[in-house]
């Protein structure tokens, strides 16, 4: 399951979508909206995301294929929010199911790092004072 969504991310639904009886481990990563950004003390009220949908979805599919090729048979789901995301809400989710925990953790880390580096999604921080700024994705 790969997608962009203007609605809240349902992590339980993502787990259910990828988990099978062959999987002994499920790793879930949720990236949530935090109150401040590194190097900027201004309090954040929300984030707004924009995406080049066709390009973003194609790249997310490619990342899922790469993860499976490298880490073995997996169930993998990746969803990124678009639009406004309130403080504390998840803006991105990666869920990986694998036969064993090591591959599940490694594949999840690979997928989120690749997503942040390569997927055509842009983030704008909305500050409590009403100001806003576009923010570059950062490495983990």
> What pTM value is reported for the model?
0.94
Domain containing residue 29: CATH number = 3.90.1170.40
When pLDDT is cut at 50, 70 and 90, the band that residue 137 belongs to is confident
User: Taking residues 98-125, what's their average pLDDT?
Assistant: 97
Give the tens place of pLDDT for each residue, 27-68.
999 999 999 888 788 999 999 999 999 999 999 999 999 999
Say how far apart CA 42 and CA 53 lie, in whole Å.
Answer: 30
Residues in the chain: 140
Query: Which pLDDT band holds residue 139 (cuts at 50, 70, 90)?
Result: low
Average pLDDT score over residue span 6-34: 97
107 assigned to some structural domain:
yes
Structure confidence at residue 38 (pLDDT)? 82
Asked if residue 70 lies in contact with residue 111, where contact means CB atoms within 8 angstroms, the answer is: no
Residue 140 belongs to a domain: no
Structural domain including 10 reads: 2-135
Q: Report DSSP letters for 58-101, one per residue.
A: HHHHHHHHHHHHHH-S-EEEEEEE-EEEETTSEEEEEEEEESSH
- Please count the structural domains in the chain: 1
Instruction: Please indicate, yes or no, if residue 105 is contained in any of the structural domains.
Output: yes
Residue 55, in any domain of the structure: yes
């Amino acid at each position: 399951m790969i997608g962009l969504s203007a609605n809240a991310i349902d992590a339980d639904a993502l787990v259910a979508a990828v988990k099978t009886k062959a999987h002994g481990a499920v790793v879930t990563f949720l990236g949530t909206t935090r109150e401040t950004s590194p190097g900027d003390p201004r309090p954040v009220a929300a984030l707004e995301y924009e995406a080049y949908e066709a390009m973003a979805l194609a790249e997310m599919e490619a990342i899922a294929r790469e993860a499976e090729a490298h880490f073995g048979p997996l169930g993998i789901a990746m969803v990124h929010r678009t639009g406004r995301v309130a403080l504390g809400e998840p803006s991105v989710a990666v869920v990986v199911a694998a036969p064993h925990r090591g591959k599940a953790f490694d594949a999840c880390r690979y997928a989120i790092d690749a997503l942040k580096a390569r997927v055509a999604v842009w983030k704008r921080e909305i500050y409590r004072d009403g100001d806003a700024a576009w923010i570059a994705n950062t490495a983990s």
